[in-house]
Structure 1
Amino acid sequence: MKIMVNMKMMLEEAVEEKAILRAEVMTLKQALQSRETEVPYHKTQGAEKGRESNEVQLMEKRAKMLGDQQLEAAAIKQTIRNLELLKNGCDNMKKQIENAKHFGVPVVVAVNGFKTDTEAEMDLVCNVAKAAGAFDAVRCSHWAEGGAGAVALGQAVQRASAAPNNFKFLYDLELPIADKIRTIAQKIYGADDIELLPEAQHKVELYTKQGFGHLPICMAKTHLSLSHEADKKGVPTGFVLPIRDIRASVGASFLYPLVGTMPTIPGLPTRPCFYDIDLDPETEQVNGLF
């Protein structure tokens, strides 16, 4: 924030100084024009007029220099605006730090520094992250330098791993299914509550009856927003999270609620492997598994 305050002061001073010079230049020009029309020209007056003309030229030159400075000040102003927008955009990052801290472990933020990012912007993100409770926030350039660009990040994670922690799960696995979903919705997404649509309510009753009520929850939800609506950016609040359906992955031991209109697709490649799996009727061996 100190950077932004200093930039604002520089901008205000440059604008104020140029305004004063403009006023002084106009005053001197008006005085010279008045002498040309009202006072007969002679050597002494001419010398005085020449001296004052030089003063005007010097002041005009200085005003031009200030014009260049004003262009620089405009750039500073734009930088301030960019930093303000960036600061507002950090709200989501702060919420994600808060979410990770629910689990009682230190949080390390990796700040990808690209060529178009300024030092002030990266400093701002790091400072905001630490103020929000991150153990550390580290600039990274592994996108350009490979492993060498992430050495500092690895060292920060190593320090965080050695720091005291109080790891805990977000909820008790023995809670009812609906309560576990509600805990995620309220603590992680910031929802006021959840709405179990008829199919989801039916699945809650079915899975509880079948003995799967103790399974953990894995939410199927858009990644583009903390809410169920992809266009709700930042940290939306005051919404109710709709649960359309709940499905069970019994083999993997979790339940996955479908949030809003979130679809699911089979995780198959272009040519599924089962095309190459067969049973040899003579040896009774399964071929193509490995």
Structure 2
Amino acid sequence: MPQQTDIEIARDAKKAPIVEIGQRLGIGAEDMIPYGHDKAKVRQGFIQDLNGRENGKLILVTAVSPTPAGEGKTTTTVGLGDGLNRIGKQAMICIREASLGPNFGMKGGAAGGGFAQIVPMEDMNLHFTGDFHAITSAHALLSAMIDNHIYWGNAEDIDTRRVVWRRVVDMNDRALRQITTSLGGVSNGFPRETGFDITVASEVMAILCLARDLDDLETRLGRIIVAYRRDKSPVYARDIKAQGAMAVLLKDALQPNLVQTLEQNPAFVHGGPFANIAHGCNSVMATTTALKLADYVVTEAGFGADLGAEKFMDIKCRKAGLEPAAVVIVATIRALKMNGGVAKEALTQEDVAAVERGCANLGRHIENVKSFGVPVVVAINHFVADTDVEVAAVQSYSEGHGVEAIVSRHWAEGGAGAETLAQKVAELADSGAAHFAPLYPDEMPLFEKIVTVAKRIYRADEVLADAKIRNQLKEWEAAGYGNLPVCMAKTQYSFSTDPNLRGAPTGHSVPLREVRLSAGAGFVVAICGEIMTMPGLPRHPAAESIHLNDKGDIEGLF
């Protein structure tokens, strides 16, 4: 069992030179762009040459609804990947990059934990290879070009009241949610109201994560709707000639980042949209490349299965033509207790009744994932306070839903602690039992898609939307966007839009506050309840404890 912190374990890791990791996958040194000795980007040309190779099996790791007790979804993803390699399978891991906002806020890092981590942990949780900075810069360039176009005569006749392109920064800063720009006189432009989102909610992030290659990236960037004219016709990024320069800023960021686990197994860490306010999946480029290089690819989607897994299936798999072979739902005894009504302070006390109550949340996720036609296994991410009788309760409950629940000890034991889980996952993936289908067809009207997700995944009774929102959706359908999937922006803590309503609530309504058209990414964002596309910092952010020690090493990251 680890006595060290995550960052201490990561710092003690024996890393192989990244060129060696790449060569094991068949990537030559000439096809890698090293960022130091322990991380590298894979060249676009190499990736294109992989076309025609057979794909490996795609395995999704998702989870129960998150709680402050922690679920360990990324930790399980890493542990499972290591476990598959330990049992003789050729496996790769694909996860998202970490955003600075939550790193310095409440969530902390996103590289796994204990002895199931991806390294270099500090780099991954900070600036890494600069992808997020490139996305922020490309987004900012478009923002600047819009206002500059208006300033120099407004040849596209943009209605300054209908500029829909907001700004972004990769930090939790609630003060920027709503702002007024261009104050200070004629030379500064025309004042207007706008606001900031966090970078991971940017359409540029979504585009980078869904693009197949550089040409597709530039085409998608050109399709971004930035504003509307007085006749309500859309103005695209290509209309102000922004897409080429944006693609230039993103050309390196589009290439997947190759790193390694503590056990020197290969991993792509690339892209990072949140699942509560964006589509929550790592890049298509990373996933499709990994599928050509490995027999099994373990990836994750953000937060619980009602958000990350649904968007993985309905957006990423639909757009990229992917078919998952198996799904792992991560649960912890602690999280199930909290979903069963136990306070965080009492989680170390045995409480089988609370576990059984909380299992309703797990059961809802199992049913939802199975509805996509993919076989499921439950991974019980083991904590030291878990008792045998509590674990048995989860296993019995899962068996009643037709799935196996397997205890996994990867946090304490690394890949060795995940071998049993790996055996089961490989068995499911190889069984051919998957018959994947998205939740709704492309031709379904947009509002019906939103209602379908709300009723079938959230178990809501209704979606509340005023006439303005419904009419906006109909206008987009008339403009040719009716075949797009929907990306639900909703609290991650509950199936409902009330973050305090844990477990498996029914009889609730989903209030639809706003809809946004992401024409470049290729989906419609439905903002529900009080969810914010720019988070704020908690009362005591993690940043208060992050510092450099006397040796110049980083402390406080987790």
Q: Same fold (TM over 0.5)?
A: yes
Amino acid at match of 2:365: Q
More helix by share: 1
1:189 shift after superposition: 0.3
> Which whole-Å CA distance do the structure 2 matches of 1:196 and 1:173 have between them?
21
2:429 to 161, 168, 179: 161
Q: What number of residue pairs does the alignment pair up?
A: 187
2:371 pairs with 1:102:
yes
Indicate the percent of aligned positions where both proteins have the same amino acid. 40
> Which whole-Å CA distance do the structure 2 matches of 1:112 and 1:197 have between them?
42
The answer to whether the 8 Å contact 2:517/2:525 transfers is yes
1:109 shift after superposition: 0.8
Amino acid at match of 1:177: L
1:251 to 520, 523, 530: 520
The answer to whether the 8 Å contact 2:350/2:390 transfers is no
Runs of 4+ in 1 over 4 A off after TM superposition: none
Deviations 1:43-67 (A, max 9, x none): xxxxxxxxxxxxxxxxxxxxxxxxx
1:153 shift after superposition: 1.5
> Which whole-Å CA distance do the structure 1 matches of 2:479 and 2:414 have between them?
49
1:81 shift after superposition: 7.7
Amino acid at match of 2:366: I
Deviations 1:139-196 (A, max 9, x none): 1111111222222212211111123232211111110001111110111000011111
Deviations 1:236-285 (A, max 9, x none): 1111211111112222211110011111139xxxxxxxxxxxxxxxxxxx
Mapping 1:49-198, distance limit 5 Å: 82-134=351-403, 136-163=404-431, 164-198=433-467
Match of 1:230 in 2: 499
Amino acid at match of 1:155: Q
Match of 2:487 in 1: 218
Amino acid at match of 1:129: S
Distance of aligned partners of 1:114 and 1:81 in 2 relative to their CA distance in 1, 3 Å threshold: closer
Question: What TM-score do you get using the length of structure 1 for normalisation?
Answer: 0.61
Distance of aligned partners of 1:115 and 1:81 in 2 relative to their CA distance in 1, 3 Å threshold: closer
> Which whole-Å CA distance do the structure 2 matches of 1:124 and 1:83 have between them?
7
1:198 shift after superposition: 4.2
Instruction: Select the structure with the greater relative contact order (CA < 8 A; seq sep ≥ 6).
Output: 2
The answer to whether the 8 Å contact 1:104/1:166 transfers is yes
Distance of aligned partners of 1:179 and 1:209 in 2 relative to their CA distance in 1, 3 Å threshold: same
Gaps of 5+ in 1: 1-78, 267-290
> Quick check: which has more Rg, 1 or 2?
1
- SS for the counterpart of 1:144 is helix
The answer to whether the 8 Å contact 1:203/1:247 transfers is no
Match of 2:310 in 1: none
2:472 to 193, 198, 203: 203
> Which whole-Å CA distance do the structure 1 matches of 2:523 and 2:360 have between them?
31
Amino acid at match of 1:132: H
